[in-house]
Amino acid sequence: MLGLMQRQELSISSLIEFAERHHGEGQIVSRRVEGDIHRYTYKECAQRSRQLANVLDTFNVKQGERVASIAWNGYRHMEMYFGVSGSGRVLHTINPRMAPEQIAWVMSHAQDQMVCFDMTFLPIVKAIHSKCPSVKHWVALCEADKVPSDSGIPNLLSYEALLVAQPTTYTWPELDENTASSMCYTSGTTGNPKAALYSHRSTVLHAYAAALPDVMCLSSRDSILPVVPMFHVNAWGIPYSAALTGAKLVFPGPGMDGKSIYDLIELERVTYAAGVPTIWQMLLGHMEPNKLRFSTLKRTVIGGSACPPAMIAAFNDQYGVEVLHAWGMTEMSPLGTLCTLKNKHLTMSEADKMKVRLKQGRAIYGVDMKIVDSAGQELPWDGKTYGDLLVKGPWVVREYFQGVGDKEPVRPLIDGWFPTGDVATIDADGYMQITDRSKDVVKSGGEWISSIDIENIAVAHPAVAMAACIGMAHPKWDERPIIAVVKKPGQEVTREELLAFYQDKAAKWQVPDDVVFLDAIPMGATGKMQKSKLREVLKDYKLPDLR
């Protein structure tokens, strides 16, 4: 027997319609590539999203066809989130930090029909436009008078000129909720990037879940700063969750440095921010020497790579900001777990609370997870046993987008579960902790050493800005860990001092065999350390006992 409730398809257009009706005066503030701060309301955002949908109709972009963005976090990008997806097209957000050849590759693979880009990225577009035959229209996200006549891009259009010619009314199509809405390519550290293709259903369910009190705890009273980019995994779904709650949105545009972020937090009375550790490192690096304080910031979600304890402590103890450690993946829309404390933790000592906060957290309703051994047998949730982490749920990929010309469909699932490639423990309370990417674990003498643990100890040293631990081949032990370190400007630490710093913090056999000082650690397009590149940098390196 079926239930007798109304059948209404979940849709992305309903989010912006809701925000317009119930939070029409709600603010969206953007630092623009033009250099100024732009302000408008959800009402105007909804109107302009409908104008954009009309533009796409006029250009005859068909349902399901891809419209790409190469843009910073800002109001025009937000309009694309709703105007493109809401009208039944698929928004392909492109990460401008990928190499130009890779950008051309993903555009061809996705068969993008139209590309809208911030003027900052004109050099990228110039470099690739002739290699992207599927693209019929190139649109600059600016006023007509800012579009250079000598851009070299045939028939380059102005977004503002296109919008202004259209009515602000539009009838959003009633789509099957499983219709594709947006797509994001993984950064593809090995092989070509693979695309997760999200649907209206997965996006709306994820937006609901992300807003929950034990997840991001979003409300119309919040002022939210997503520093995490809209060009990668939909800025962790924040644009959708913000529309769903009517929270004020503050977009940083290209201003990702510590000062720009700090100024925006204070100016716009931001209560809640989200970003990867490298961004917060820059923010703290600006605040400490200038003795600055936050007047409104209460919570910050940190994820994308492991958040070092020193950073959690700095936010919590020095600035009174609660850190919510989160874990997810492109293939998971991206949220999987988020670390909020349970009642039982509140009476713990600060040191014990920190042990919990360091974990990547509890599964969000909608995400099932398990850890398994190499034979696929499920492992216990005891907080000690580690295994390969598998997940499933309505916002986890089933298959990768195949694009054109690919012969074999890429079906990653194992008995319905998605293998994350992460190694983790799960404790009895359901708190998951990532030990490592499976390819980054250091395997020494039959034991596993978590490179994250070794890095966390190094970055707790006052002179260390960044640290990457990798395993080096060893004839007796298989691998031994070494730590590559970037020092903070003007700070000194020797190899011996740093190795001594590990005493009492790690078991003797886990202490790195050596320290390598570098000017920089190679970073990938999504702000993570690229250990494959680091291995290339250190290809001639030899462990001390093998020299």
Q: Which is nearer to ligand ADP, 421 or 430 (CB)?
A: 421
* Near ligand ADP in 348-367, by CB under 6 A: 360
Which residues form the catalytic set? 186, 331, 443, 448
Shortest separation between residue 156's beta carbon and ligand ADP, angstroms: 30
Determine the angle formed by the axes of helices 75-86 and 12-22, rounding to 10 degrees.
130
Q: What is the CA radius of gyration of the chain?
A: 24
> What is the chain's percent helix, strand, coil content, to nearest 5?
30, 25, 45
Q: Which three-class secondary structure state does DSSP give residue 136? A: coil
Q: Which three-class secondary structure state does DSSP give residue 299? A: strand
Q: Which is nearer to ligand ADP, 56 or 363 (CB)?
A: 363
Q: Which is nearer to ligand ADP, 87 or 420 (CB)?
A: 420
Shortest separation between residue 232's beta carbon and ligand ADP, angstroms: 7
* Near ligand ADP in 244-303, by CB under 6 A: 303
Shortest separation between residue 223's beta carbon and ligand ADP, angstroms: 24
Contact flag: residue 437 with ligand ADP (CB under 6 A): yes
| Burial zone of 416 (CB within 10 Å; 0-12 exposed, 13-18 middle, 19+ buried) | exposed
Tell me the residue type at 246.
G
Q: Which three-class secondary structure state does DSSP give residue 300? A: strand
Contact flag: residue 194 with ligand ADP (CB under 6 A): no
**For residues 185 and 477, what is the distance between their CA atoms, to the nearest angstrom?**
37
Member of 11, 93, 187, 456 binding ligand ADP (CB under 6 A): 187
Contact flag: residue 422 with ligand ADP (CB under 6 A): yes
- Any long-range contacts for 368-373 (C-beta under 8 Å, 24+ apart)? 368/392, 368/393, 369/336, 369/337, 369/426, 369/432, 370/417, 370/426, 371/424, 371/425, 371/426
Q: Which three-class secondary structure state does DSSP give residue 484? A: strand
Q: Which three-class secondary structure state does DSSP give residue 180? A: strand
Contact flag: residue 526 with ligand ADP (CB under 6 A): yes
Contacts of 149 (CB under 8 A, 6+ apart): none
Number of residues that bind ligand ADP (CB under 6 A): 21
**For residues 171 and 164, what is the distance between their CA atoms, to the nearest angstrom?**
18
Q: Which is nearer to ligand ADP, 114 or 323 (CB)?
A: 323
Contact flag: residue 146 with ligand ADP (CB under 6 A): no
Query: Residue 16 phi/psi, 5° resolution?
Result: -75, -30
Q: Which three-class secondary structure state does DSSP give residue 154? A: coil
Contacts of 543 (CB under 8 A, 6+ apart): 472, 474, 480, 482, 513, 514
Shortest separation between residue 245's beta carbon and ligand ADP, angstroms: 23
**For residues 228 and 238, what is the distance between their CA atoms, to the nearest angstrom?**
9
Return the range that interacts with ligand ADP (CB under 6 A); candidates 81-89, 139-147, 347-355, 417-425: 417-425
- Structural contact between residues 433 and 358, judged by C-beta atoms closer than 8 angstroms: yes
Q: 149 - beta bridge partners? A: none
Which of 74, 78, 70, 69 lies closest to 47, judged by CA?
A: 78
Q: Which is nearer to ligand ADP, 88 or 277 (CB)?
A: 277
Q: Which is nearer to ligand ADP, 261 or 434 (CB)?
A: 434
Q: Which is nearer to ligand ADP, 142 or 326 (CB)?
A: 326
Return the range that interacts with ligand ADP (CB under 6 A); candidates 212-220, 374-382, 403-411, 415-423: 415-423
Member of 279, 335, 434, 515 binding ligand ADP (CB under 6 A): 434
Q: Which is nearer to ligand ADP, 268 or 455 (CB)?
A: 455
- Structural contact between residues 535 and 312, judged by C-beta atoms closer than 8 angstroms: no
Per-residue x/- mask for ligand ADP, residues 305 to 344, rule CB under 6 A? xx------------------xxx-xx---x----------
Question: Which residues contact ligand ADP by CB under 6 A?
Answer: 186-187, 233, 303-306, 325-327, 329-330, 334, 360, 420-422, 434, 437, 526, 528
